[in-house]
Structure 1
Amino acid sequence: MTRFDADATAERIALVADAIAAHRDRESAFCTLEADSDPGDDPDFLPPWVQFADGTLNLDCTDEELDALSTVLSGFGAFTITSRESIEDAPGTNVRVDARADDERTGQFVDAVFREVYGLPEDFRLWAVEI
């Protein structure tokens, strides 16, 4: 893999597909994709992220984001929630989504998650931070 970020839809989808392929080729534990976001003045801010491993996407969502995730899932039939885990005192829910799709379709889904679930603008920058 020679590039690790992208800020246009088609490029982000290709970045996700390439990161998943590199993860698979390297037989790594998982790959992590992270949005470039402005933390403002919040010292506890964590940028939105999605991890992929063994055909499963892992992400954290607030209750509002869970509702948006359900809407996104309705447009991607090959993706289904397999588990939700809420930890006491945690601000959200960890969600695992089974991805029965090729790498490009997974890239489309991941891009939709960042835009529609996390509410990022059309031109947000996505980084492959761990492969």
Structure 2
Amino acid sequence: MAGPEREDAATRRAKLAEAITAHRRAGSQSAVYFGAETDDESPVVEYVDREITVEVGDAERDRLDALLADFHVFKIAQPATRKAPAGEIHISALADPKHTADFVDRLFLDVYDFEESYALAIVEP
């Protein structure tokens, strides 16, 4: 049985930037969801109206904090995170689509610990 497809970072980030740009052009309040094409269940990253929502465990939260230190323009959105269920983090994404795409790709690599060649999926909710 064949495993999931593989993509390089440039391909994934271009797909992410295109989806984010299309979302913004449409003025959509509907979310865009990103995941990974894997044989297992993938975490899903939600993007809507310049906000990213992720679900993380304790170890992933520590890695998310480290990633946020590298991307200073992205901040944990309060009070949205305070009101959210445990483990759900809302991140303010007031950045251009390319920078946001870089951040989302790094979420999968650094926070969710996917391999460098994971394939990105734009998923239905």
Give the TM-score of the pair, scaled to structure 1. Answer: 0.81
| Match runs of 1:73-112 below 5 Å | 73-82=68-77, 83-84=81-82, 85-87=84-86, 93-112=87-106
| Match runs of 1:1-131 below 5 Å | 7-26=7-26, 27-39=28-40, 46-82=41-77, 83-84=81-82, 85-87=84-86, 93-130=87-124
User: Per residue, is there more strand in 1 or in 2?
Assistant: 1
In structure 2, the residue matched to 1:42 is: none
RMSD, aligned CA: 1.9
Matched positions, count: 116
What runs of 5+ residues in structure 2 fail to find an aligned partner? none
User: Per residue, is there more helix in 1 or in 2?
Assistant: 2
> What amino acid does structure 2 have at the position aligned with 1:10?
A
Report the 3-state secondary structure (helix = DSSP H, G, I; strand = E; otherwise coil) of the residue aligned with 1:67: helix
What runs of 5+ residues in structure 1 fail to find an aligned partner? 40-45, 88-92
**Deviation for aligned residue 1:24:** 2.2
